[in-house]
Every structure is written in C-alpha cells, then in structure tokens.
Amino acid sequence: MLVELLPWVDQKVIETCPFSHTTETTQAMLSTSLLEMYAREQVEWDAFEWMHIECFPNLVELACMLPQKEDNLRSRMSKFLLSVSERFGDSYMTCIMLPVFLTAVGDKADLTYFPRSIRSRIEGLRPRSGVVDRLSTMCVLPLLLAGVMGAPGKQDLLAEYLRKLLLEENHTENPPTKHTPEIINAIRFICIYEENHGLIFTILWEMVVSTSVNMKINAAKLLKVIVPYIDAKVASTHVLPALITLGSDQNLNVKYASIDAFGAVAQHFKNDTIVDKIRVQMDAFLEDGSHEATIAVIRALVVAIFQLTSTPNATSDLMRRRDRANAFCEAIRALDATDFPEKSIRDYLLPAIQNLLKDVDALDPAHKEALEIIMKERSGGTFDSISKVMAGAHLALPTSVSNIFGEGGLLGKKDTMTDPSSEAASSPNTGAPSPAEDTRFRRIMLGNFSDMLRGKGKAQEDGQKQ
C-alpha cells in the first residue's frame, strides 16, 4: 500500500511546495538549497513532512515488532525506502532519510535540514535504554544498511559505516558494549543482496588479518551466517581461505570459532574442492590433540546429524531407508560414548533419535533398542564417562561410524541446510573425558572423518546408477 501511495505523495509534495520552483519532478525540486530554506523559514508543508514525521517513525516502530530473522517483510520495507530515495533524490536521502534512521539506531546524526520545531520529534526516535538500544540494533540497523545506505551510488557511505561497526569499534580487546550478535545479523541481512558481497568480503579480510582477537572471532561468526547467501565459487575463493587462516591462528578461541563456520560450509556445498579443504582442516583440528577442538567437532557433528535426520526421506526403497537409518544409528551410538553438554543432548541428540524412531520399518531391532536406551538414560541425565566408554566398547566403536564417515556415508551433503547452533565455538562446560574415551574418539574421527563429507554424494550417485 505504501508503494502504491508513493506517487500520490510525490505529486502532493510538488503541488504544495511553499517555495517557488520550476521543476516538474520531486527529485529535481528537493535540492540541498531548497531543504536549507525548508529548515530555516518555518513554513507549513504537511505533504512533505508526512514522510519523515509520520511514515519513517512508524516504519521504525513496525520494524521493532518483527522477529530478528523476518527477512521477507524487512526486505519489502527496505525496497520501499529505496523507492523513496529514488523518487525524492540524493539530497533528500542524505539530508532527511539518513539522519532519521541514524538517530533511530542511536548514532550521531546531522539535523541541520530539519526545522527546529520538529527536531525534538526526530530526536525522540533515539534509544533511551540499553534494552531499546539492542532492539534498535537488531531491528532498525538492517533497514539503515539495506534501505538507506543501500541506495545506488552510496557504496562508499555503506563501506565507511560498516568499517565503523566492524573495525573501529572492535580494534581493542575490550570494545565498547555494542551489540555484536545483532550487528552480525544486520550484516547477514544485507548479504541477501549479491551486490554487497564484494564489499563485505573486503572488510572481512581486514578482520581476518587484524591483530585483534575479538575482530577475528567476529569474522568467523560473520563468515558462518553469510554462507547461505553465497555460491560454491565464492565459498572456494573467499570463505574457505579466510576460515583456513582463522583455523591456523595461534589463539585457541579464534581457532575454535572457525570450526562452527566450517560446519556451515560443509552442510551447504558438495563441491569436491570444498570438501577436500574442509576435510584437511577438520583432520588438523583433531590431530592437534586439543580436547576443546575435539569437543567442538563433536558438537558440529551432532548438529549436522540432527539436521539430516530432520530432512524427510523421500525414497520408498526400504533397503535404502535402512542403509540411511543404520548409518545414523551407528553414528549416534558412537557419539553417545563421548561427553558433551546437556544443551547439545537436549537440542540435537535426543531430537535426532526421535526423528529416527519415526520410521520404525527402517530400523534394525538392535539399533531401535539401543536408541531407546540412549533416549531413556540421556533424557534423565548424563552417564558417567567411564560407563559410556564401556558401553561404547560393547557396541564396537572402532567400526560404528564407518557407514557415516566412510565410503557411502550420509553426512554433510544437504544443499539448503543451515546451522542453527553457534555453541560449537564455545568452550565446553563439562570436565575433560578420561584418557581412554578421548583416545578412542580421536582415533575413530582420524580414521574416518576424511571421507565424511564426500560420502553422501557417492551414495546418491550409486543409487542413481542402480
């Protein structure tokens, strides 16, 4: 409705302009000199003021009611703002639109081109508390970046502002209390538009090669969330080189932050070059002997299994369904011999088991019984590490993940998959496992992880040949 209303508003602005003009378009009429007169002479111009006094503030209020990842409505709002900028011109965008939205996200803004009588109303959009400041960063910043600074010819302005957000405010190890997750989500939103990718990756590389640990960790988080919006070529030429650099960092927190992003890449692309690079890097994480790195890989694996078991199995071939179910069951039984936080158990492991139990016909009776036992015991609390190691030994752990990690495996090949968990980069809350458990799992992973990502593609190709 607003888009359809815009031409009518445009015409009313021209017809009711209190200053003499000879132009027929709003874009030509709203020059910087005319806006200076508007601010200085205190004239009535209701049709013009409706946009920045009524419409924009109401859009800000509406944006703050949207869920963080409501991309569809937020995209339509951004397109409307771009339409306003196109009709009303560059001077209007720079002198009126930009200050309104900068104020709404709590940033400095030049209100020179607003009459004194309405400046207080524009200032009223400024967040007045920490909660509202976070809300504005979460909900209004995406509109500022995409709908205002995303206007044609404003790439330099957008680049300067993004550098301010990502580089200048994070150059110290104790940056100001800015809402980093919300900023990262806002940048994720503008990556929906392919024309922004080049700019984003230029800034990302500055973060990757910086000396700031905070900046490098934020680079890993940003790389993870933009994976769904890129193609395999961009993943190979930009994302993976950046992640490999971060994964080789001497700081352990930076290294662990990259694991989650590698997982996101693995779940979106089946390109052989990409798979090879991820395989080498994951093997390197496990070979360094770090308990935290192993735990991070375990968590990423649990998330991936949950996501793959959540995907409907379209085949009616019972044998193929059984092969698929057996691979997942054996992987879950192997993971049950490891130690990871209750949140991962609750959010991913148990739901994955529930997904498998829905297709009873595809489950081997022994697997079904084992899964029900894991469900019962894991839902009531975690096992003692030693008892889990013994259970794993009873289940023949050295071969239990061969189907999912080895030839014909199933994991890591879903094209449209996203990774909802960011916990893989965090340090574990549980204590270190016993040496027997740690050695056993690392041996399994090192022996089979190299084929994990490629396996599902081979299984699919074999099925097609048959």
Question: Tell me: the pLDDT tens digits for 80-107?
Answer: 999 999 999 999 999 999 999 999 999 9
CA angle 307, 313, 316 (to 5 degrees): 170
Single-letter residue type at 392: G
pLDDT band at 224 (very low <50, low <70, confident <90, very high): very high
The answer to whether the CB of 332 falls within 8 A of the CB of 378 is no
160: left (phi over 0), alpha (psi -120 to 50) or beta: alpha
The reported pLDDT for the residue numbered 35 is 92
- At residue 359, the 3 state secondary structure works out as coil
Cα–Cα distance for residue pair 53/125, rounded to 1 Å: 10
| Tens-place pLDDT, residues 310-365 | 777 666 778 888 888 888 888 788 777 776 677 888 888 888 888 888 888 888 88
Nearest-angstrom CA–CA distance, 428 and 379: 19
Instruction: Decide if 326 contacts 401 (C-beta within 8 A).
Output: no
Q: By the 8 A CB rule, do 143 and 186 touch?
A: no
Task: Put residue 190 in one of left, alpha, beta given phi > 0 → left and psi -120 to 50 → alpha.
Answer: alpha
Is 104 in a helix, a strand, or coil?
A: helix
pLDDT reported for residue 403: 38
Mean pLDDT of 23-51: 86
pLDDT digits (tens, 9 = 90+) for 284-305: 887 776 777 777 777 777 776 7
Structure tokens at 51: 């946009």
Predicted local confidence at residue 233, as pLDDT: 92
Identity of the residue numbered 425: A
Q: Which tens digit of pLDDT belongs to each residue from 103-137?
A: 999 999 999 999 999 999 999 999 999 999 999 99
Burial pattern 423-451, b for ≥16 Cβ within 10 A else e, equals: bbbbebeeeebeeebbebbbebbeebbbb
Longest dimension (CA), the chain: 90
**DSSP strands (E only) in 404-458:** none
pLDDT at res. 407 = 40
Q: What is the pLDDT of residue 442?
A: 52
H-state helical runs in 67-115: 71-88, 90-92, 98-104
Q: What is the pLDDT of residue 225?
A: 94
% of the chain at pLDDT higher than 90: 43
Please name the residue that has the structure tokens 């400095």. Answer: 108
Confidence category of residue 188, pLDDT binned at 50, 70, 90: very high
Mean pLDDT value across residues 145-153: 94
User: What distance in Å separates the CA atoms of residue 51 and residue 18, rounded to the nearest whole number?
Assistant: 17
Task: Name the residue among 107, 97, 143 with its Cα closest to residue 127.
Answer: 107
Between the ranges 19-23, 53-57, 312-316, 360-364, where is the mean pLDDT highest?
53-57
Q: What is the per-residue pLDDT across 228-280, written as a single tens digit (0 to 9) for each?
A: 999 999 999 999 999 999 999 989 889 888 988 888 887 788 778 888 888 78
**Is 70 exceeded by the pLDDT of residue 430?**
no
